[in-house]
Amino acid sequence: MVRGSLIILEGCDKSGKSTQCKKLVEYLNGQNKNAELWRFPERSTEIGKVIDSYISNKCELDDHAVHLLFSANRWEMVDSMTKKLNSGITLIVDRYAFSGVAFTSAKGLDLEWCKTCDKGLPTPDAIFYMDITIDEASSRGDFGGERYEVSDFQKKVQLKFQQLKDSTWKMIDARDTIENIHSTLCAQVVDVMKACEEKPLLHNLWMESISTNGH
């Protein structure tokens, strides 16, 4: 069985991730490739409902507790994620553990502790980072509607993303037109899917970097 690919789109709020994820899934399905749109947090679960309440400013929680909830929300989806990928379905994911670490560490919590919570999650086959300045992103749509949509905080988040990214991340100019970005993503994602068809799905996110740092 040819497995599906785990494709992650990351970036700050209003960088265009959700739009591109949706268009990418529509394109792949139109090419007779099995693909599904996923996003984190997954707000439909019991844990996700608590997170949704927090993000919507309906409750207050300790920053450590919130991070653990976000991580737990990813962990509770691992079984379903693994089964779908191994059955040949490609998952296009709007945010993953990288957002979790970037947002929490931007509040001042230890970045390595934040990473430890997601140690061993399924490892992405590709990470696309939607690159845009916060000033440009904040001018889009209904920026400011949720807890984290504050320009000064988003700038801190962006700095944390810069710490997390490595040479494997694929940078996308999110200032380009929607259609140009879509074309770029389609071409690159199809290449990724071909490259990992016969490769096993790994569950070693951050395991090497954490052990190297003694955590």
**Residues 82-94: pLDDT tens digits?**
999 999 999 999 9
When divided into structural domains, the chain yields a total of 1
Residue 202 lies in a domain: yes
Residue 120 belongs to a domain: yes
Query: What's the domain range around 57?
Result: 6-212
Q: 1 in a domain, yes or no?
A: no
Q: Is the residue at 31 inside a domain?
A: yes
Give the CATH number for residue 104.
3.40.50.300
Cα distances from 33 to residues 18, 36, 93, 114, 153, in angstroms, run 20, 10, 16, 35, 38
Is 143 contained in some domain? yes
Amino acid 141: pLDDT: 62
Query: 41-46: long-range contacts at Cβ-Cβ below 8 A with a sequence spacing of 24 or more?
Result: 41/70, 41/73, 41/95, 42/73, 42/76, 42/77, 45/73, 45/76, 45/77
Residue 58 placed within a domain: yes
Q: Which pLDDT value is given to residue 62?
A: 96
Mean pLDDT computed over 136-156: 72
Rounded to two decimals, what is the model's pTM?
0.91
